[in-house]
Structure 1
Amino acid sequence: MLQLQSAFGVIALLAIAWAFGENRRAVSPKQTAIGLVVTILTAIVLIKLPFVTRAFGAINDAVGAIAAASRAGTSFVFGYLGGGALPFDLKAPGADFILAFQALPVVLIMSALTTLLFYWRVLPPVVRGMAWLLERTLGVGGAVGLSTAANIFLGMVEAPLFIRPYLAQLTRSELFLVMTGGMAGIAGTVLVLYATLLAPLIPDAAAHFVIASVLGAPAAILVSLIMVPETSDKRTGGALEDPDMHVSSTMDAIVKGTTAGLELLLNIVAMLIVLVALVHLVNAILGLLPDLGGAAISLQRLLGYAMAPVCWLMGLPWPQAITAGSLMGTKTVLNELIAYVDLSKLGPDALDPRSRLIMLYAMCGFANFGSLGIMIGGLGTMAPERRDDINSLGLKSIVSGTLTTCLIGAIVGMLS
Structure 2
Amino acid sequence: MKYIIAIIGLIIVLGLAFIASNNKKQIKYKPVLLMIVIQIALSALLLNTKFGYYLIKGFADVFSKLLTYAGSGIDFVFGGIANKGESPFFLEVLLPIVFISVLIGIFQYLRILPFIMKWLGFILSKVNGMGKLESYNAVASAMVGQSEVFITVKKQLGHLPPNRLYTLCASAMSTVSMSIVGAYMTMIQPKYVVTALVINLFGGFIISSIINPYTVKKEEDLVEILEDERQSFFEMLGEYILDGFKVAIIVGAMLLGFVALMAAINDVFNMIFGISFQQILGYIFSPFAFIMGVPWSEAVRAGGIMATKLVTNEFVAMMDLTQISSKFDPRTLGIISVFLVSFANFSSIGIIAGAVKALHEKKGNVVAKFGLKLLYGATLVSVLSAIIVSLVL
Q: Which residue pairs with 2:267 in the alignment?
A: 284
Q: Which residue pairs with 1:273 in the alignment?
A: 256
Q: Which structure 2 residues correspond to residues 156-175 of structure 1 after superposition, within 5 A?
A: 156-175=146-165
**TM-score, normalised relative to structure 1:** 0.88
CA distance in 1, matches of 2:248, 2:225: 29
358, 374, 385: which one aligns with 1:408: 385
Paired residues of 2:133 and 2:223 also in contact (CA < 8 A): no
Q: Which residue pairs with 2:121 in the alignment?
A: 131
Q: Which structure 2 residues correspond to residues 394-405 of structure 1 after superposition, within 5 A?
A: 394-405=371-382
Residue 163 of structure 1, CA deviation = 1.6
Residue 359 of structure 1, CA deviation = 1.1
Q: Which residue pairs with 2:59 in the alignment?
A: 59
Paired residues of 1:223 and 1:400 also in contact (CA < 8 A): yes
Q: Which residue pairs with 1:218 in the alignment?
A: 202
162, 182, 187: which one aligns with 1:192: 182
Measured against aligned partners, the alpha-carbon deviations of 1:142-165 in whole angstroms (never above 9, x if no partner) come to: 111111111221221112222221
**1:178 partnered with 2:178:** no
More helix as a share of residues:
2
CA distance in 1, matches of 2:146, 2:240: 17
CA distance in 2, matches of 1:240, 1:48: 39
222, 225, 228: which one aligns with 1:244: 228
Query: Bigger CA drift: 389-398 or 379-388?
Result: 379-388
Q: Which residue pairs with 1:294 in the alignment?
A: none
Residue 301 of structure 1, CA deviation = 0.8
2:293 match: secondary structure: coil
**1:355 partnered with 2:332:** yes
Residue 39 of structure 1, CA deviation = 2.8
Measured against aligned partners, the alpha-carbon deviations of 1:316-371 in whole angstroms (never above 9, x if no partner) come to: 101111111111101000000000011111141x2111111111111111111111
**1:103 partnered with 2:81:** no
1:197 match: secondary structure: coil
Paired residues of 1:143 and 1:166 also in contact (CA < 8 A): no
CA distance in 2, matches of 1:115, 1:104: 18
Paired residues of 2:99 and 2:241 also in contact (CA < 8 A): yes
Paired residues of 1:116 and 1:254 also in contact (CA < 8 A): yes
Residue 81 of structure 1, CA deviation = 4.4
CA distance in 1, matches of 2:313, 2:126: 34
What letter is aligned with 2:244?
G
Tell me which stretches of 4 or more aligned residues in structure 1 moved more than 6 Å: none
Determine what percentage of the aligned residue pairs are the same residue.
25
1:240 match: secondary structure: coil
Cα 1:403–1:213 shift into 2, 3 Å = same
Paired residues of 1:313 and 1:410 also in contact (CA < 8 A): yes
Q: Which residue pairs with 1:148 in the alignment?
A: 138
Paired residues of 2:285 and 2:306 also in contact (CA < 8 A): yes
1:229 match: secondary structure: coil
Residue 48 of structure 1, CA deviation = 3.9
Query: Bigger CA drift: 39-48 or 333-342?
Result: 39-48
Residue 171 of structure 1, CA deviation = 3.2
Q: Which runs of 5+ in 1 are unaligned?
A: 91-95, 292-296
Residue 128 of structure 1, CA deviation = 1.2
2:143 match: secondary structure: coil
Paired residues of 2:31 and 2:127 also in contact (CA < 8 A): no
Measured against aligned partners, the alpha-carbon deviations of 1:264-283 in whole angstroms (never above 9, x if no partner) come to: 11111111111122222322
What letter is aligned with 1:140?
M
CA distance in 2, matches of 1:387, 1:153: 22
CA distance in 2, matches of 1:75, 1:181: 36
Query: Bigger CA drift: 328-337 or 262-271?
Result: 262-271
**TM-score, normalised relative to structure 2:** 0.93
CA distance in 2, matches of 1:277, 1:269: 12
What letter is aligned with 2:73?
G
Q: Which runs of 5+ in 2 are unaligned?
A: none
CA distance in 1, matches of 2:145, 2:220: 21
Q: How many residues align?
A: 393
Aligned Cα RMSD in Å?
2.1
**1:335 partnered with 2:319:** no
Residue 52 of structure 1, CA deviation = 4.0
